[in-house]
Amino acid sequence: MNAPPPVSLWQALKFWLKLGFISFGGPAGQIAIMHQELVEQRRWISEKRFLHALNYCMLLPGPEAQQLATYIGWLMHRTWGGILAGVLFVLPSLFILIALSWLYIAYGHLTLIAGIFYGIKPAVAAIVVQAAHRIGSRSLKNNWLWGIAIAAFIAIFALHLPFPLIVSGAGIIGWLGGKFAPQLFNASARHQANQKNYGAALIDDATPTPEHAKFRTAHLLLVIACGLLLWILPMLLLGISFGWQHGFTQMAWFFTTAALLTFGGAYAVLPYVYQGAVVNYQWLTPAQMIDGLALGETTPGPLIMVVAFVGFVGAYTQQFLGPEHVFLAGAIAATLVTWFTFLPSFIFILAGGPLVESTQSNLHFTAPLTAITAAIVGVIINLALFFAYHTLWPEGVTSGWLLQLDWIALTIGVLASGLLFYWKMSIIKVLGICAVLGVAVKMLAH
């Protein structure tokens, strides 16, 4: 089968925009959509090159599906192709989440809206448990990795150690393991099995690396310099305009650090976002954080876009720009946190892409990531318990925990678990069913 005709930048942009609106299902679903569209149907890139790029993105902090889109866009149409592919992957979900966040704050008290969130919250707890199971079954291949996962859970649940410390500790263990017990940390590359041939592709297995994708030291330094400039200038502008202790500036700092700690995807960084946004800065309540994750699950785009909800609700309720401009404050905050969360992803791809095109995976690099992924399983289990607690005991536990238990929410959560684990139903369908049940409960109680 002959390779398809060349694809113009405009043709590619139409696809990336379409992808931004149909990218439901979390990272796994988004990667599956891209594989089906780009490898199987359009044949813009061969499966081997697709997986080679994906394996790099899986090792980076940040949303791997968005980074993969950026990588392929860059490989096909140079720097601007990558930037536009990554931006269009995120932009629709930003606008959708700003609108939904406003509806949530302004009309969340209505019976219909309250019922939807009442039904979705137990489902979210079940979804997080499923995420822990999915990541754990893929990554916990021996007793050492199980031990790291259990230790991470104890560290965050019982000892209340900060998320960065847990990640750093796991990384050091993985680095030492890669040196002294490499067989325990040599996780085989994911997504490599069962490669198929779908015919000749525009970027095929044997297609030479294009000139713009070859490593050059000058290009690497230029990308890093531009990235730092795009971070420093907005940060200085915020500090000078609003002050270094203002909510906008604090959000910019906080979500910059969050962007660099998202190893393992959105579920892994949510405990860190919770610690900062709910506990330290108190931008949101625990219940609002659960509702934000529910919105993130039901909208297209990377799940980490829940940060836009956090920014909007925090700036809106805390009135960062005064009581007269609450919506404007929310919209600015949502845009700011999206900028500072995703900027590192673009730098990682544009700076590291040429190296990936010329090098193979190295155990000394991948072993720490294997250990970090194991630790993340324990962290996600803690997150699931956090969501379950605030869903089943919304008023907290004072005395008689069994009497205060929300039995209806528990029933919905058990049903959601069955639909996810036993019937293998998609997340969107499970959330839809639970939302309908929640509305029915609230209507009957009204």
* Count of CA atoms in the C-beta half-sphere (13 A) of 22: 12
Mean pLDDT rounded to a whole number for the chain: 87
Counted residue by residue, the chain has a size of 446
pLDDT per residue as tens digits for the range 329-364: 999 999 999 999 999 999 999 999 998 887 544 566
Model's pTM, two decimal places? 0.78
> Using CA atoms in the order 176, 180, 181, 182, what is the torsion angle rounded to 10 degrees?
80
Q: Give the H/E segment covering residue 383.
A: helix 363-392
Alpha-carbon span 316 to 190, nearest angstrom: 41
Per-residue pLDDT tens digits for 134-173 = 778 877 889 999 999 999 999 989 998 877 788 889 989 9
DSSP sequence for 54-73: HHHHHHSSS-HHHHHHHHHH
pLDDT tier, 232 (very low <50, low <70, confident <90, very high otherwise): very high
Residue in the block written with tokens 């600015």 = 332
Q: Nearest Cα to 98, choosing from 387, 305, 270, 258?
A: 305
Interval 171-182 mean pLDDT = 90
Residues 6+ apart with CB under 8 A from 356: 52, 53, 56, 71
Query: CA torsion 12→17→22→28, rounded to 10°?
Result: 60
Q: 266 is written with which tokens?
A: 């959105």
Q: Position 43: which residue type? A: R
Q: How far is CA 91 from the centre of its chain?
A: 15
Sequence-distant (6+) residues with CB within 8 A of 167 are 261, 263, 372, 375, 376
Element at 137 (helix H, strand E): helix 111-139
Residue 198 has pLDDT above 80, yes or no: no
Task: Calculate the dihedral angle through the C-alpha atoms of 209, 212, 214, 220, rounding to the nearest 10 degrees.
Answer: -150
Distance of alpha carbon 384 from alpha carbon 403, whole angstroms: 22
Q: Which phi and psi angles does 79 have, rounded to 5°?
A: -60, -45
Return the DSSP state at 5.
Answer: P
Q: How far apart are CA 70 and CA 349, in angstroms?
A: 7
> Structural domain boundaries of the chain?
9-188+218-396+403-445
pLDDT higher than threshold 50 for residue 193: no
- Helix, strand, or coil (residue 250): helix
Evaluate if residue 196 carries a pLDDT over 80.
Answer: no
Average pLDDT over residues 294-320: 88
